Amino acid sequence: MMKMSERTTQYWRFSLFHRFIHVLVMTSFAGSAISGMALKFRTAAWARIAMQLMGGVPGSAWLHRVCAIVIAFYCFLHFLFIVYYVVRRKGPLFGGTSMIPRPQDMVDLWSNFLYFFGRRPRPKFDRFTYWEKFDYWAVFWGVMIIGFSGLVLWFPELATRFLPGIVINIAQIMHSDEAVLAVGFIFVVHMFNTHLRAEKFPVDTSIFTGKVSEEELKQEHALEWEHMQEDPNRMEEARVK
């Protein structure tokens, strides 16, 4: 007998490029987080164990810097994709298929809040929901803050040639506190939104396979599905052959 998953039509949601970028984000974030948090909370028992497993302070410092290079690498790749998307593909910067927030996101947020309390039907989301956009821009600004402050701490002599010495202290506070905020956000907000919600638990596989089922697309991104229905070429292009 054919399994249900084999009878379900699937559609592409993430390209191979974006899945590759996500792997880089996951691995570099995990490595930089564990090496950085072990140093920040070095008196904790788990931090001492983690530090030993990484080879002590030299090993954790090496891991932290390698992860920083990977972060810079995927940021560069993502920037190239944005240029390609806008210049070559003529992709829209605004609207339902864009990651740029718009007023409709605030409407969706309020409608979803009322839906939680049974006061309104579930809102129809386009390709990207308001919480997915929030996730994206949280990473964007977090990488900017952590990245620039990290460069100051990595090359303090060079930084203080052009900036006052107090910038080292400011960079340390920014780097450390923003990292704690990022770790808390990823392991609470992002993990819940993407994997721990009832309809996704225990894991949302779309970011790894790139595919979503027709049923999931209709439920999670109903407005996108309606737009696809109106454009047969877009529907056929998105369908997993």
DSSP letter string over 180-237? HHHHHIIIIIIHIIIIISTTTTT--THHHH-EEEHHHHHHH-HHHHHHHHH-HHHHHH
Burial class from Cβ neighbours inside 10 Å (0-12, 13-18, 19+) for residue 169 reads exposed
E-assigned strand segments in the chain:
10-12, 211-213
What is the reported pLDDT for 45?
95
What is the reported pLDDT for 96?
83
What is the reported pLDDT for 136?
93
What is the reported pLDDT for 7?
61
What is the reported pLDDT for 108?
96
**If you search the block for the tokens 């089922």, which residue do you land on?**
213
DSSP bridge partners of 11: 212, 239
What is the reported pLDDT for 2?
37
Q: Do 179 and 40 form a contact (C-beta atoms < 8 A)? A: yes
Q: What are phi and psi of 26, to 5 degrees?
A: -60, -50
pLDDT digit string (tens) for the chain, length 241 residues? 334 445 689 999 999 999 999 999 999 999 999 999 999 999 999 999 999 999 999 999 999 999 999 999 999 999 999 999 999 888 888 888 899 999 999 999 999 999 999 999 999 999 999 999 999 999 889 999 999 999 999 999 999 999 999 999 999 999 999 999 999 999 899 999 889 888 888 899 999 999 999 999 999 999 999 999 999 898 999 999 8
